[in-house]
């Protein structure tokens, strides 16, 4: 079973603490994100600062590279894309130099990558395991595959749920060796299930096509894993609610990241960094398993809010469902700080500096929920993370993808007291607020800091308290009928809407 054992070490600017697990663990990354290099917003340096400041373990900036079969009907759109491609080709040495600068084993992995469009075959992101290679203007899928093989790279399709011919994935030409996982969640929406609270309605390609989903394609006999990434164009990796990838491995190197992707040891999360895990005998998420070795599945989930349900999906159907139960265990708990709001149509940015101290307790884990979108060079980041204190900086705006940013804390201590100090600059005015709240009181009501006396003003909320047994689950499930070709996936959904899906286990 997955063990949740942690210790801490400093790595980001000697102040921001990263988690290192004694055993195999989940590392978190965003490997599909854009900025001003190509067509988007935000500098390359800012993208890396946010990636590290949001406690990502690995990151890939994925500039747009080529679209060989772009429609000819709109010359403006074609010219817009081609100008972006030329900018990327010109800047490629700078992109590779940045990956070399920020790439440090066991601290942060920076992956060179680019995106390739195709109306017919679907879009792919190509990931290079080293500095060799560049954006490749492949004129068709076969050419892109040859390039991928030559450089020992991976080509991962994304927004797979769109219709064929509308940049949805051409599953008939899908190669699971070169594409062992698919990006099934992003700011485009969710391509895992046909009925989902994350509809693919934000873009121009139309909505979700049922036959294109992960569940339907696994039922066709294909086998692949799932990941999630943001795919936003405002240079903000890990923008909350747009998707992250968790990889299950024992170290953090370029080789281990690629090996985890190749072996499908991955999970996709929509928001909070939920650690979802499934095991069948010696097989773990993404593996083939031998049914002769038994039929007992072990599962675990460690979230950042109350879990609404945990399900083991078999062949696309929920065969086992569990909900949290039992007497509240307050020895550990989670709570969330949310900040933002303000006038609904306001364009201005609010700057925040927050200090959070915990007395009679310890911070164990963090799940940043920062949002980007406003056109600026501002940075969301964790400045310091120790067992007793967390400092972070953030900006909020109605122009962000979400007007509210958050930071969620997993803590130890049933008699802890939370002390929050908030500095806020809004419309040129500086505000300072403080709050002290005991966890036993936070269980009954939320605590608020109002910045300013006018309506509306920026607000900070301390709340969403949940005891340990509501966000941590583990157990076993015995399947009485198991046969070759069956596949199993663990899904975890929190009450706040955040979800996690593991890569499937396939019975050989």
pLDDT in tens, 151-163: 999 999 999 999 9
Determine the distance from the C-alpha atom of residue 125 to the mean position of all C-alpha atoms in its chain, rounded to a whole number.
16
CA 478 to chain centre: 31
- The pLDDT tens digits for 235-281 are 999 999 999 999 999 999 999 999 999 999 999 999 999 999 999 99
pLDDT tens for 393-423 read 999 999 999 999 999 999 999 899 999 999 9
Residue 230 has a pLDDT of 98
Tokens of 119: 């109306």
Predicted confidence at residue 349, as pLDDT, reads 95
- Dmax (CA) for the chain in angstroms is 68
Report the percentage of the chain scoring pLDDT > 90.
82
> What's the rounded Cα separation, in Å, for the pair 122 and 118?
5
Mean pLDDT of the chain: 92
With a cut of 50, say whether residue 428 has pLDDT above it: yes
What's the rounded Cα separation, in Å, for the pair 408 and 365?
8
In the predicted model, what is the mean pLDDT of residues 34-45?
Answer: 94
pLDDT value at residue 8? 28
Tokens linked to 55: 């406690």
Q: Torsions phi, psi of 412, nearest 5?
A: -110, 140
**84, 64 Cβ separation under 8 angstroms:** yes
Q: Angle of helix 44-53 relative to helix 75-102, nearest 10 degrees?
A: 60
Q: Return the pLDDT at 472.
A: 98
CA distance 65 to 81: 9
Instruction: Tell which residue, 343, 370, 386, has the closest CA to residue 16.
Output: 386
Contact 32, 229 (CB under 8 A): yes
Q: Among 244, 258, 249, 46, which residue's Cα sits nearest to residue 148?
A: 258
Tens of pLDDT, residue by residue over 62-95, are 999 999 898 887 788 888 888 888 889 999 999 9
Nearest to 52 by CA among 92, 88, 21, 14: 14
Please state, in angstroms and rounded to a whole number, the distance separating the CA atoms of residues 119 and 245: 25
pLDDT in tens, 300-312: 999 999 999 999 9
Secondary structure letter of residue 142 according to DSSP? H
DSSP characters over 232-259: -SSS-TT-TTS-EEEEEES--SHHHHHH
Rounded Cα gap, residues 68 and 259, in angstroms: 30
E strands present in 189-341 = 189-190, 225-228, 244-249, 266-269, 275-280, 283-284, 288-289, 296-302, 307-314, 317-322, 332-341
Count the Cβ atoms, other than its own, within 10 Å of residue 431: 17
Angle at 135 between CA 128 and CA 55, to 5 degrees: 50
3-state SS record for 373-398: CCCCCCCCEEEEECCCEEEEEEEECC
d(CA 194, CA 217): 12
Q: Which residue has the higher pLDDT, 185 or 82?
A: 185
């Amino acid at each position: 079973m997955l063990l949740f054992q942690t210790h801490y070490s400093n790595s980001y600017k000697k102040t921001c603490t990263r988690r290192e697990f004694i055993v195999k663990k989940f590392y978190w990354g965003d490997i599909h994100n854009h900025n001003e290099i190509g067509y988007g917003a935000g500098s390359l340096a800012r993208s890396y600062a946010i990636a590290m400041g949001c406690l990502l373990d690995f990151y890939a900036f994925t500039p747009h590279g080529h679209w060989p079969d772009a429609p000819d009907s709109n010359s403006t759109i074609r010219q817009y894309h081609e100008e972006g491609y030329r900018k990327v080709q010109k800047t490629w040495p700078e992109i590779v130099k940045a990956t070399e600068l920020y790439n440090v084993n066991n601290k942060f992995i920076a992956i060179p990558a680019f995106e390739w469009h195709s109306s017919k075959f679907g879009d792919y992101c190509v990931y290079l395991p080293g500095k060799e290679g560049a954006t490749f203007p492949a004129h068709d899928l076969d050419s892109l595959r040859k390039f991928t093989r030559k450089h020992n790279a991976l080509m991962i399709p994304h927004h797979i749920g769109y219709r064929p011919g509308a940049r949805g994935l051409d599953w008939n030409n899908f190669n699971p060796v070169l594409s062992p996982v698919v990006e099934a969640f992003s700011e485009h929406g969710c391509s895992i299930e046909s009925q989902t609270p994350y509809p693919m309605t934000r873009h121009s390609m139309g909505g979700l096509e049922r036959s294109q989903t992960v569940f339907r394609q696994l039922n066709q006999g294909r086998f692949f894993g799932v990941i999630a990434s943001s795919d936003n164009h405002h240079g903000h990796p890990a923008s909350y609610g747009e998707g992250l990838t968790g990889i299950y491995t024992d170290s953090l190197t370029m080789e281990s990241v690629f090996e985890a992707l190749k072996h499908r040891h991955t999970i996709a999360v929509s928001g909070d960094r939920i650690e979802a895990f499934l095991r069948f005998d010696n097989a773990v998420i993404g593996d083939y398993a031998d049914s002769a070795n038994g039929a007992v599945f072990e599962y675990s989930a460690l979230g950042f809010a109350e879990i609404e349900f945990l399900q083991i999906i078999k062949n696309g159907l929920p065969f086992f469902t569990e909900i949290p139960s039992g007497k509240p265990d307050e020895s550990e708990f989670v709570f969330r700080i949310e900040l933002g709001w303000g006038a609904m149509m306001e364009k201005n940015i609010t700057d925040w500096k927050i200090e959070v101290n915990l007395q009679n307790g310890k911070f164990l884990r963090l799940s940043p929920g920062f949002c980007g979108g406003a056109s600026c060079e501002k940075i969301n980041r964790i400045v310091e993370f120790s067992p007793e204190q967390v400092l972070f900086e953030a900006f909020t705006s109605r122009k962000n993808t979400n007007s509210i940013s958050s930071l969620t804390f997993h803590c130890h201590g049933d008699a802890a007291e939370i002390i929050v100090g908030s500095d806020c600059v809004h419309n040129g005015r500086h505000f300072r607020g403080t709050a002290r709240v005991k966890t036993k009181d936070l269980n009954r009501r939320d605590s608020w800091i109002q910045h300013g006396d006018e309506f509306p003003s920026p607000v900070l909320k301390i709340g969403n308290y949940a005891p340990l047994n509501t966000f941590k689950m583990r157990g076993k499930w015995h399947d009485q009928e198991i046969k070759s070709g069956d596949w199993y996936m663990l899904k975890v959904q929190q009450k706040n809407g955040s979800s996690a899906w593991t890569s499937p286990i396939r019975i050989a």
